[in-house]
Chain A
């Protein structure tokens, strides 16, 4: 099955990345279509949507969005793309996403690109969009059956769980050094912890950035990107499979905001241009303070972020601000709190402008164990953040659940 995706964009040709969009689409089995419009549609679209941008390219985007909303083009999903740093483009992108969510049930993702955007940057997003469409039935699975293993091969940590009929029998994680070596070590450790034999395992699911190579090595039944898989795990662990929910995942190198309905994503955004709001920034800050990440989180809880002036979100300049504050005699607690708030605020200003935030808000991933970061998110969002049990293993749990649907006994 080829998934038909409407591309609604401005600037992809002149930024030189349209070829990369086609390449990513081909790899993920997408057929890109540009909704056909008439020049008369442009004025009508601006009147219907209520936005009158100055750029003609953005006006055309509105007309294409209206064509999708009115069903004049048959598509399974939509990608909305504009240039990074174009304020008018960002306004149009957000407006179209909200408009399509209100008027259609089609999944929509949005992305702001630079000339350096490559197919590889788009693959995770495109793959997730395709899975949201093609694997809708699989993603709707709410329970776990049988005995399965899920492994999440992340950029910083490799995490694994063994699940039996909905219960987590064992969980194990270690830093990712080499994808296969770390993955196999987690895999073996799970057998040691449970005492089970490999022949008992009915299915294996692998997710995370190392999923392809590790999935091949383990002959996994399910190899799937982390957006849909982590969503499943988070909704399961957070008991949020019956209605709307929102996921925050601050990863080692990027971050994700995912909007779910009944445990299935309908919109998401992945940070990918700046690593200022990543686990790496917190890790570097903790190292500079001479503490591990858990202690760092406790320190942050006792600190006051307002006492530290941070003028930059950039990971390098942000560190510089923190080091300068320390040199001036700032308390470590305040520095730790400032780093956590920097991540939370940056995430709020960037990712949460792209998805609808509906409660419950679940925070997952290894960084969800950093208490100061969770508090920073609660203060920034003015919402209660739920950190489900085994939150750092959400991806692995999701992989175990989804793979159980593919087990021979299922």
Chain B
């Protein structure tokens, strides 16, 4: 089986990114998009080189009356959702686990992922060690299942 493109949510979670990578898939994360922006020497719009063009491009994913911060985020996240072949969504995570910063963006991204009818694993953020073990176990099982491995 070919590796799958797996969207992670929160979109900047290093733990999810690492897990997806370890099991042979391609994580779709916002870091890659921001990295492209920051490394672009032609744009000088500190701190992450987002200009007013991004919120305008975000209109592809949400209406213009949606706040500019949501549209700016969607300009980066929208193309990742389009690419996604699977997704792992973690609800109510600790801020140190990752976050998009905006609850409205979260709602929209999750809805768009469901709309794609791709395999989705949705989990609650673990609150203790036992839950954490089960959390990782579920993710590993899901990632393996994307390879056709039922184990």
User: How many Å lie between the Cα of A119 and that of B121 in the bound state?
Assistant: 44
Chain A interface main SS type: loop
Contact A11/B44 with A39-B95, A53-B103 known, Cβ cut-off 8 Å: no
Q: Name which of A82-90, A101-109, A175-183, A191-199 contacts chain B.
A: A82-90
Q: From residue B14, how far is it (CB to closest CB) to chain A in Å?
A: 15
**B92-103 toward A: CB 8 Å interface, digit per residue (1/0)?**
001110011111
Interchain CB contact under 8 A, B72 and A56:
no
Q: Name which of B21-29, B47-55, B109-117, B137-145 contacts chain A.
A: B47-55
Interchain CB contact under 8 A, B45 and A84:
no
**Which of A10, A19, A115 is B101 in contact with, Cβ under 8 Å?**
A10
A57 at the binding interface (Cβ < 8 Å): yes
Interchain CB contact under 8 A, A18 and B67:
no
8 Å CB interface, A55-101 against B: 55-57, 59-60, 82-86, 88-89
Interchain CB contact under 8 A, B54 and A16:
yes
Point out the residues of chain B lying under 8 angstroms from A17, CB to CB. 52, 68
Q: From residue A1, how far is it (CB to closest CB) to chain B in Å?
A: 24
Interchain CB contact under 8 A, B46 and A19:
yes
Point out the residues of chain A lying under 8 angstroms from B67, CB to CB. 11, 83-86, 89
A114 at the binding interface (Cβ < 8 Å): yes
B124 at the binding interface (Cβ < 8 Å): no
**Which of B65, B72, B103 is A55 in contact with, Cβ under 8 Å?**
B103
**B54-95 toward A: CB 8 Å interface, digit per residue (1/0)?**
111000000001111111110000000000000000000011
Q: From residue B9, how far is it (CB to closest CB) to chain A in Å?
A: 13
Interchain CB contact under 8 A, A22 and B46:
yes
8 Å CB interface, A237-295 against B: none
B122 at the binding interface (Cβ < 8 Å): no
Count residues on chain A whose CB falls below 8 Å from chain B CBs.
Answer: 31
**Which of A12, A19, A60 is B44 in contact with, Cβ under 8 Å?**
A19
Interchain CB contact under 8 A, B55 and A86:
no
A42 at the binding interface (Cβ < 8 Å): yes
Q: From residue B28, how far is it (CB to closest CB) to chain A in Å?
A: 18
Point out the residues of chain B lying under 8 angstroms from A14, CB to CB. 50, 54-55, 68-70, 72-73, 101-102
Interchain CB contact under 8 A, B50 and A11:
no
Q: From residue B67, how far is it (CB to closest CB) to chain A in Å?
A: 3
Point out the residues of chain A lying under 8 angstroms from B51, CB to CB. 16, 19
User: How many Å lie between the Cα of A402 and that of B70 in the bound state?
Assistant: 44
User: How many Å lie between the Cα of A115 and that of B71 in the bound state?
Assistant: 9
Can you name 23 A-B residue pairings with CB atoms under 8 Å? A12-B69, A13-B48, A14-B68, A14-B69, A15-B55, A15-B68, A15-B69, A15-B72, A16-B50, A16-B52, A16-B68, A17-B52, A18-B46, A19-B44, A39-B95, A53-B103, A54-B103, A55-B101, A56-B103, A59-B95, A60-B95, A113-B68, A114-B55
A-B contact sample (18 more), CB < 8 A, given A55-B102, A83-B70, A115-B71:
A10-B102, A12-B69, A14-B72, A14-B102, A15-B68, A16-B51, A16-B72, A17-B52, A17-B68, A18-B45, A53-B103, A54-B103, A56-B103, A60-B101, A82-B69, A85-B65, A86-B70, A115-B68
